Amino acid sequence: MDGREIRILLGICTAILAAAALHLARSVTIPVTFALFVIALVWPLQALLQARVAKLPAMVITLVVTIATVGALGYLILWGFSQAGHWLVANGGRFQALYSEAAAWLEGHGLYAAGTLAESFNVSWLLRIFQGVATRLNGIVAFAVLTLIFVMLGLLEVDILQRKLTRAAPGTAGERLLAASTSIARKLRTYMVVRTVMSVLTGLAVWGLTAILGLELALAWGVMAFALNYIPFVGPLAATLLPTVFALAQFGSWQLATTVFVGMNVIQFFSGSYIEPRVAGNALAISPFIVLLAVFFWSFMWGIPGAFIGIPVTIALLTVCEQIPSSRWAADLLSGRADPA
């Protein structure tokens, strides 16, 4: 075995050990990762304020703006799910009848297990799902507090670290780290701006479609589509399936439910697969395969937070690879660009 093969094996072992460490220490690594992500997004505001007022008041204003923004998004998510939950409680009989009809149809085609499940099915089964979502949302509060502490401490250190790295000699690791950090922050801000604009457009389109079709809770579906669109693949899938199931219960018609499902998928396709890549351009070009792999890999590593933060983490890793000559080939290989960066 030559030296190159040994280095490859050591690299694979290091990657496996690093992934295991990230998973086992997720109670700390997830808040730290989110804190770094938030710092990259809000640092321009902090720097702008620091040019006019002292560092501490600038940090306080930045944190207040950040908390207000995240709180507004969280309120929209809770409001959308609460509206769906209230409608579910008021119309639980429709879901029971719908499931019984489906079970009877399946029994007519030789699938008798569905009938057994129908006997134990009731609206409380669906309510438990919504309660589980609510419990997870409540658990986010403690996570948000810890993340906020890391953000607060990090904002106080960014300019100090930046000055230290600026003094690094040309060609050294410090200079490359500064260049990579600046590029990562710029790309993450671009990613969130594009994602937010497309989420707003998706939410408006879903609201318009469901309102035209006469589906109840049209505004709630639009709000949920807007919020869930921040989670690639998984979020749009949930935002598509939930209105479809509710449409089936409301109208009792497979044709109208299919219309809702198809309409939702058309909106998600044009938003996520056609418009967004063209708006983002080459600055965020990542192979669609890598995007999907990142969502599922980081979901496996960190759960729901990983589904949200997976793409930004992947963008950061690829940006670091771009800054290192020996690994630049990996960034070009995994990007969605036809030509090297």
Q: pLDDT for 143-191, tens place per residue?
A: 888 888 899 888 888 888 888 777 766 667 777 788 888 889 998 998 8
pLDDT band of 33, cuts 50, 70, 90? very high
Q: Are 39 and 158 in contact (CB under 8 A)?
A: yes
Residue 135: the pLDDT is 62
Question: Under DSSP, is residue 303 helix (H, G, I), strand (E, B) or coil?
Answer: coil
User: Residue 282 above 60 pLDDT?
Assistant: no
Residue 245 has pLDDT above 90, yes or no: no
> Which of residues 324 and 336 earns the better pLDDT score?
324
Least confident of 10-19, 123-132, 308-317: 123-132
Helices (H), the chain: 3-24, 26-50, 55-90, 92-108, 113-120, 123-166, 173-213, 218-228, 234-251, 254-268, 276-280, 288-302, 304-323, 328-334
* Average pLDDT of the residues of the chain: 79
C-alpha 161/C-alpha 159 separation (Å) is 5
Output the six-digit token pair for 126. 């669906």
Residue 1 pLDDT: 57
Tokens 């589980």: give the residue: 132
Q: Which of 66-75, 80-89, 136-145 has the lowest mean pLDDT?
A: 136-145
What global pTM score does this model have? 0.78
Summarize the confidence of residues 64-82 as an average pLDDT.
85
Distance CA 220, CA 77 (A): 9
